[in-house]
Amino acid sequence: MKNERVFTALLLLASPALAQTSGTYLLTSSNTVSPSSPTTTIGIWAAWVDPGAQFVFAAANYDLTAGDGVFSNPVIVLYGPGSSTGVIAGNVIWGAVIGQLVGPPFFPMNWDNPILLATYDWTTTGFTPRAVDLHTSNTNLFLVFNPFSEAHVDLYPHSFTPGSGVIIVIPAPTAWLVLALPLVAASRRRRC
């Protein structure tokens, strides 16, 4: 009986007809922020679970907020008509809209999943060690397109999860550590 339930559950998970397509934003940071590298590049990616591998990204919108710091240098990577990186106001980006032309005659479409939508530079305002939260909000459209049926499917709100991420900020090394590094290197050379 137990084996039958496990087998049935596996069949349900594996069946594209029974599984549901859902979407989110993935937020990436290019590096840890430190005094020698006070800026990181944040990538906004659209990602969706697509059991049948039939959907391509079409369009979405978002606001992006960081716990502190300052955004700058917006770059649209996936550019379609009406796309905009939004309005930057310090640690908030309002009203970004990103999309691509899909369906006939707009081929080839970019089928990447996840797909990079835009990048923004983020610069710290201080080097207190911390994790700076990133999150998307105010999404009211996350559209995917099925070129086989030519159907647009909006995954928002029922099959959509807002994106979140973290920027790591580390302080400058303390003075004793900077002085000790040459001693450590010298002791290693003597051992070799």
User: How far, CA to CA in Å, does 137 sit from each of 24, 117, 142, 180?
Assistant: 11, 16, 12, 45
User: How far, CA to CA in Å, does 111 sit from each of 2, 11, 36, 47, 147?
Assistant: 40, 27, 37, 11, 11
Predicted confidence (pLDDT) per residue in 44-53, tens digit: 999 999 888 8
The CA distance from 158 to 187, in Å, is 60
Predicted confidence (pLDDT) per residue in 57-79, tens digit: 999 999 999 999 999 999 999 98
Q: Is the pLDDT of residue 1 over 50?
A: no
**Domains, the chain, ranges and CATH?**
18-191 (2.60.40.680)
The CA distance from 167 to 91, in Å, is 13
| Bridge pairing between strands 22-29 and 160-161 | parallel
Predicted confidence (pLDDT) per residue in 121-161, tens digit: 999 999 999 999 999 999 999 999 998 888 899 999 889 99
